[in-house]
Amino acid sequence: MDVPDDAVLFDMDGVLVDSETYWHRFEDEWVFAEAIESGDPAHEEITGTPYYEIYDYLTETYGTAVSKDEFTAKYEERAESLYGEQVELTEGVQALFEAIRADGRKLAIVSSARRSWIDIVRERFDLDPLDLVLSAEEIDRPGKPEPYIYEHAAAELGLDPAECVVVEDSVNGIESAVRAGAFTVGFRSTHNAELDLSRADVVVDGGMAELRDLLLG
């Protein structure tokens, strides 16, 4: 298997930190319980999508019972303690980042999370230096599952998407990377154990150690 060796682009939620478990709880307790009018959404419908676009999707698909301002404010309020206090770094991330840097590859975080949320994680877990940090809010195009964020990230790095490896855990994130033309790794963990990640070029279910073997041999 030919794995590109120019750059590795990491999604944040569910890959670098275990935040999806907490976001799913928030969705069950408030988003799906109080913010929609009817229906029973599945987590994978919205996971990986920018939170401000989640509102539009839920409005169109299920109807919403709160305003967009209230919806986004709830997400922003929840994010502060979630990233600042609750999430844990996935085991092996820092060692893998060091190995990627030592190999001369470019290293990036590309996320649907707000830039301020990414910065909390970067600073809390000492993830710098990075060649690029890109939030969906920083591009004037639709977020994941559309391909634009990964197309934009590759261009910022001076690369074609096909020269980049993308590590993603969500159906929407994988779809975004695949549609951009990147070599896409589906990263399986407890929160997405039952999801179909087969759109990815390869699925890793052995954590950062297996991912390191794939990337660096």
Both 31 and 124 in one domain: the answer is no
- Amino acid 124: pLDDT: 98
Q: How far apart are CA 62 and CA 65, in angstroms?
A: 10
Residue 217 reports pLDDT greater than 90: no
184 located within any domain: yes
- Amino acid 192: pLDDT: 96
In the listed set 86, 107, 129, which residue is the last one of a domain according to the structure?
Answer: 86
Whole-angstrom CA distances from 185 to 90, 120, 194, 214, 216 are: 16, 25, 16, 10, 14
Task: Provide the domain limits for residue 79.
Answer: 20-86
Both 101 and 175 in one domain: the answer is yes
For the entire predicted model, the pTM comes to 0.95
2 located within any domain: no
Both 24 and 118 in one domain: the answer is no
Whole-angstrom CA distances from 32 to 14, 29, 70, 99, 211 are: 20, 7, 14, 41, 33
- Amino acid 125: pLDDT: 98
Both 68 and 130 in one domain: the answer is no
In the listed set 86, 105, 121, which residue is the last one of a domain according to the structure?
Answer: 86
What are the percentages of helix, strand and coil residues in the chain, rounded to 5? 50, 15, 35
In the listed set 41, 66, 86, which residue is the last one of a domain according to the structure?
Answer: 86
Q: How many domains does the chain have?
A: 2
Both 36 and 59 in one domain: the answer is yes
Total number of residues shown for the chain: 217
157-170 pLDDT per residue, tens:
999 999 999 999 99
Both 129 and 192 in one domain: the answer is yes
Q: How far apart are CA 145 and CA 174, in angstroms?
A: 7
Q: How far apart are CA 28 and CA 93, in angstroms?
A: 28
Both 93 and 70 in one domain: the answer is no
What average pLDDT score do residues 15-43 get?
Answer: 96
1 located within any domain: no
